[in-house]
Chains A and B, each alone.
Chain A
């Protein structure tokens, strides 16, 4: 069973996305199978930080709404074996994903990955509740 790590903060802009990307890459370079979920729609999103922004076809909402299979939405990192990104929903509707869907998604991913690292939006809106819903053991 994979471990879920939620990266969160109170204030915005303190380094969550940077931390998610580096921890994900660090775990993958140790040979772990890692998927990072972008639960935020921000300026410098996880896909940009990872240099994967041109590879997005499907996103988180496509997965939770059943538009595609989970596997189809996972983008493989260019450098590291075993590192994947599930990109942020491009919709501004923050209620497009609910906590139950997030929990189910994490349960599914935990079967296949050693670590699920979730990049949270700052503060306590829906995105935060979604992100912590998947957390079995909360690191952050």
Chain B
């Protein structure tokens, strides 16, 4: 299941997860795409923990917003084959998780701003 960190995309993902479960396809894995770590840091974008809380599924990986995706798509190339692209690195990690390797999550898009710390403190998340 792919989503972006937007409320509308997450809400639609939630509906599809419900349908998948109704079709007895359980335990979907989540990819959060187009994360902007800076925006998350300043509380301007949903944080990955918020999204996981809402969807209640396992996270397979997080892909950052990366203009290399657009550049390579236009050239018929793939970021995963570009050694130095951040999104390619994230996809590489996802692939390694798929084949069963234990790859730690990069610390992309985990909010640590005052608001989220306060929320945690008062037990809101």
Contacts and interface: CB of A to CB of B under 8 A. Distances in A.
Interface of A: 5, 7-11, 14-16, 18-19, 21-23, 25-27, 29-30, 32, 44, 48-52, 79, 123-124, 132, 135, 138-140
Contact of A51 (B3, B60, B75): B75
Contacts of A7: 2
Q: Is the interface of A mostly helix, strand, loop or mixed?
A: loop
Contact-residue size bin, chain B (C-beta under 8 Å from the other chain) = 35 or more
A9 B76 contact: no
Contact of A18 (B9, B69, B99): B69
B11 A10 contact: yes
B69 A51 contact: no
Given A23-B95, A25-B78, 7 more contacts: A9-B1, A9-B3, A23-B91, A26-B91, A29-B80, A48-B73, A140-B2
Contact of A27 (B15, B23, B63, B98): B98
Nearest to A124: B19
Nearest to A15: B33
B92 to A, nearest CB: 6
18 contacts: A9-B2, A9-B3, A9-B9, A11-B4, A11-B13, A14-B3, A14-B4, A15-B2, A15-B31, A18-B69, A22-B79, A23-B98, A26-B92, A30-B95, A51-B77, A138-B20, A138-B25, A138-B27
B36 interface: no
A48 B60 CA distance: 26
Contact of B81 (A11, A19, A29, A140): A29
B6 to A, nearest CB: 8
A8 B57 CA distance: 14
A9 B63 CA distance: 15
B16 A22 contact: no
A139 B73 contact: no
B9 to A, nearest CB: 4
B90 to A, nearest CB: 9
B41 interface: no
Given A9-B1, A10-B13, A19 B31 contact: yes
A26 B60 contact: no
Interface string B45-78: 0000000000000001001000001000101111
A9 B13 contact: yes
Nearest to A77: B78
B34 interface: yes
